Amino acid sequence: MSQATVQTLPFTLRGGAGTLAAWESTPPHGVEMRGTVLLVPGFTGSKEDFEAMVPILSAAGFRCVAYDQRGQWQSDGPDEVSGYTMVDFADDLNLVVDQISDDIPIHLVGHSFGGYVARAALVAQPNRFRSLTLLASGPSSISDVNFTPPQLVAQLIESGGQQALWEQMNRSLAPLVPPAKLEFLHNRIFATKKANMIGIMRVMEGPTDYTPALRATALPILIAYGNSGDLWPPSVHERYAEELNARTAVYDGVGHLPNEERPARVCADLVAFWTAVDAR
């Protein structure tokens, strides 16, 4: 099925702190609807992180919804850091589910910090979900992770705002990213609320271990990750998959953004996973 027949349309959702900017795409005419997928972006991210995946998944028969979390990019959010707790993010996600699905469970995909939010939302209301995919989203942000400690990142943003974070990011991105994409990333950072970024870092300083609760749901889980330069080493993802009795999908030569570096492969793995889930 040609992806050219798939339309991705902007729309708005209701969040706990205002309007959430979102995208929606549905299967083209003649393609059977196989379910609804909700895609959740991570720290400094947005719905655009799934731009290459959405048309592929919809062409395969899945209605896709992706949204900017509170305070990200084009979504409303409070100016106070206190408005960005894990409960706030997870409540927003479950409120989104209420708006895009009646009683039919959906497939949930969370990238990086979006995976943390997805875990919390799923544990709170497991009956609303058909499966969970953690995309480049490891078990902890404070141990076994190749990332500056969240507390230090929060301090950087508190003192220097978006400009300080952008200077850090730009040094690594500029040689690798086309100018148009770099301009978008720049604009997104400065449109994302400072309180959002500090709040996320504070949440990540000590995230709750959802492993026992996730296992108790007995929902199918896929852990998908790159094996070259992700924030978590492959061994950490592998161990986490064993703890969750989860399937794995591994992308050779890929870092923290398999959704952008290998979108077709990620989508093929997702469709295969969801097909297996539906066949259970």
Which residue from 259, 271, 32 is spatially nearest to 135, judged by alpha carbons?
Answer: 259
Identify the domain containing residue 14 by its residue range: 3-145+207-278
Domain membership of residue 183 (yes or no) is no
Is residue 227 in some structural domain? yes
In a domain, 45, yes or no: yes
* Confidence at residue 206, expressed as pLDDT on a 0 to 100 scale: 81
Cβ-contact 70, 143 below 8 angstroms: no
Count of structural domains within the chain: 1
Q: What is the pLDDT of residues 190-230, one digit of tens each?
A: 999 999 999 999 999 987 889 999 999 999 999 999 999 89
Has residue 262 been placed in a domain?
yes
- DSSP output for 44-88: T--GGGGTTTHHHHHHTTEEEEEEPPTTSTTS---SSGGG--HHH
Nearest 5°: the CA angle 60, 230, 191 is 75
pTM flag (> 0.75): yes
Any domain includes 239: yes
Question: For the chain, how many helices (H) and strands (E)?
Answer: 10, 8
For residue 87, give the CATH number of its domain.
3.40.50.1820
Position 184 scores a pLDDT of 96
**Within-domain flag for 272:** yes
- Mean pLDDT per 10-residue section of the chain, whose length is 280 residues: 72 97 95 96 97 97 98 98 98 98 95 97 97 96 87 94 92 87 96 98 88 96 96 96 97 96 98 95
Beta pairing, strands 8-15 & 18-25: antiparallel
Name the amino acid, one letter, at 123: V
